[in-house]
C-alpha cells in the first residue's frame, strides 16, 4: 500500500505541475495520473489501497470543507443564504429529472432504474468545485457578490438532494420498497438542518474545550479534525448532511475564535497540498475508460442534455438576484463537474442486482471522464472573464 501511495504522490505531483504549465488547473493532471496508475490502465496500485480509497477521499473532503468554513464570514452567509438554497436544489432536481426522462424513453429503462441513473448523474462534485471555489475566493474573484461562497454552500447541499432521491429510486427498483417520494423529499430539510446544527454544536463544544487548552494550536486542530471525522461517519449512518456540518463547524469556530482560525487555516492549507493529490488521483483510479466507452454516443448525448437541464436550473435559481449575466453564466459553468458521488455510488445499482446496473455504471463513469477535467478547466478559464477581481 505504501508503494501505491508513494506512486500517487509522485506522479500526481508531476502530473499537476505539467498540466499547470498549460494554464489548466493541476487537479486535471492528478486525475489523469490516477487513471494511468489505476487498475483499469497500468494497475500499479495495491488492492488494499483501493479498498480504503473512499475513506481517504472522504478525509480529504473533510479537510477542504473545514478550511472553506474557516474562511467564511457571517455577512457573507447572509448575502448568499436565500440564493444558496435555490441553487442547491433546483439545478440538481432539473438535471436528475431530465436524465431520468431520457433514460426512460431512449434507453428503455424502468422508471426506478431511470431515476437511479438520473440522480447519480445529477450530483455535482464537491471534490472539484470546493477546492476550485476556495482557490478563486483566496485570489479575490467574485468576492464583491460572494459568488465562490454561494457555490461552496450550494455544492454541499446539492449532493444531499441527489443522494436522497437516488436512495429512493434504488429502494424502489431493487427491493420493491413502497417508500413515498414525498417522504424522501420531506426528509431533505431535516437532513440539512440536522447537519448544520450538529456542526454548530460540535464547534461550540470545541470552543469551550479549547479555552482550557492554552496555546497548543496543533493539539486543538487535531481534536477538531477528529470530531469532524466522527461526525461525518455518524452522519452517513443516519442520513444527515454531515459534510455541510463540517463547513458549519469551521464557520462557527471562525466566528468564535478568529485568532485561532488563521492558524488552523494555514495548517490545513499545508495539509491540503498532500491530500489534494490523493483525492484527485484516487478519484481518477476509479475511472474505467472501457466501461465509459461502452455508453457510446447516446450516453454522451444524455449527459450533455442533463447538463443543459442543470444549467437551466442554475439560471432560474439566480433570477431576480444581485448577480449579473456574467456571474450567472459562471455559476452554470462551475456547477458542471462530476466525480465524487459518481465514483462512490455508480456501481451500487449493479451490486444491488439492478438489471441495467452495468449501463448505469458506464454512464456514471462517462460523466466523470467528460465533466471533471473539462469542468475544472472551464472554471479557471472563465473566472477571470466572468467574475470581478477584488483587489
Residue 303 has pLDDT above 90, yes or no: yes
CA pair distance 137, 145, nearest whole angstrom:
11
Tell me if 152 sits within 8 A of 134, measured CB to CB: yes
Per-residue pLDDT tens for 341-360? Answer: 888 788 889 888 888 988 99
pLDDT-derived band at 323, boundaries 50, 70, 90:
very high
d(CA 281, CA 272): 14
On the question of pLDDT at 178 being above 90, the answer is no
Rounded CA separation 218/320 (Å): 45
Q: Where along the chain do its domains lie?
A: 55-386
Angle at 100 between CA 97 and CA 101, to 5 degrees: 90
Q: Which CATH class is domain 55-386?
A: mainly alpha
pTM, whole model, 2 decimals?
0.85
Determine what percent of the chain is predicted with pLDDT higher than 70: 97
Question: Is pLDDT above 70 for 166?
Answer: yes
Query: Tell me, what's the pLDDT at 181?
Result: 64
Q: Do the Cβ atoms of 279 and 8 come closer than 8 Å?
A: no
Amino acid at each position: 500500500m505504501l508503494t501505491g501511495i508513494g506512486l500517487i504522490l509522485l506522479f500526481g505531483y508531476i502530473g499537476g505541475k505539467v498540466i499547470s504549465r498549460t494554464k489548466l488547473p493541476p487537479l486535471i493532471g492528478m486525475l489523469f495520473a490516477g487513471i494511468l496508475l489505476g487498475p483499469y490502465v497500468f494497475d500499479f496500485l495495491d488492492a488494499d489501497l483501493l479498498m480504503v480509497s473512499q475513506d481517504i477521499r472522504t478525509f480529504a473532503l473533510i479537510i477542504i470543507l473545514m478550511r472553506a468554513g474557516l474562511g467564511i464570514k457571517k455577512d457573507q452567509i447572509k448575502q448568499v443564504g436565500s440564493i444558496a438554497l435555490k441553487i442547491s436544489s433546483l439545478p440538481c432536481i432539473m438535471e436528475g429529472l431530465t436524465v431520468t426522462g431520457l433514460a426512460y424513453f431512449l434507453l428503455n429503462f424502468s422508471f426506478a432504474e431511470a431515476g437511479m441513473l438520473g440522480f447519480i448523474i445529477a450530483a455535482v462534485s464537491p471534490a472539484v468545485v470546493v477546492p476550485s471555489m476556495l482557490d478563486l475566493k483566496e485570489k479575490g474573484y467574485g468576492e464583491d457578490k460572494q459568488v465562490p461562497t454561494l457555490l461552496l454552500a450550494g455544492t454541499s447541499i446539492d449532493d444531499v438532494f441527489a443522494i436522497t432521491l437516488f436512495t429512493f429510486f434504488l429502494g424502489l427498483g431493487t427491493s420493491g420498497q413502497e417508500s413515498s417520494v414525498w417522504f424522501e423529499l420531506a426528509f431533505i430539510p431535516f437532513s440539512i438542518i440536522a447537519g448544520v446544527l450538529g456542526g454548530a454544536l460540535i464547534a461550540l463544544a470545541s470552543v469551550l474545550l479549547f479555552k482550557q487548552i492554552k496555546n497548543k494550536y496543533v493539539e486543538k486542530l487535531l481534536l477538531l479534525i477528529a470530531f469532524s471525522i466522527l461526525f461525518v461517519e455518524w452522519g452517513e449512518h443516519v442520513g444527515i448532511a454531515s459534510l455541510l456540518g463540517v463547513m458549519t463547524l469551521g464557520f462557527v469556530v471562525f466566528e468564535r475564535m478568529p485568532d485561532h482560525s488563521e492558524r488552523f487555516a494555514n495548517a490545513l492549507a499545508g495539509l491540503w497540498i498532500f491530500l489534494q493529490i490523493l483525492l484527485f488521483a484516487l478519484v481518477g483510479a476509479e475511472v474505467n475508460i472501457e466501461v465509459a466507452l461502452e455508453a457510446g454516443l447516446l450516453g454522451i448525448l444524455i449527459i450533455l442534455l442533463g447538463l443543459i437541464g442543470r444549467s437551466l436550473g442554475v439560471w432560474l435559481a439566480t433570477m431576480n438576484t444581485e448577480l449579473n449575466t456574467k456571474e450567472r453564466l459562471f455559476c452554470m459553468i462551475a456547477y458542471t463537474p462530476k466525480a465524487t458521488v459518481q465514483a462512490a455510488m455508480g456501481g451500487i445499482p449493479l451490486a444491488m442486482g439492478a438489471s441495467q446496473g452495468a449501463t448505469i455504471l458506464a454512464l456514471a463513469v462517462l460523466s466523470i471522464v467528460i465533466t471533471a477535467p473539462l469542468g475544472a478547466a472551464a472554471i479557471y478559464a472563465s473566472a477571470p472573464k466572468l467574475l470581478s477581481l477584488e483587489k
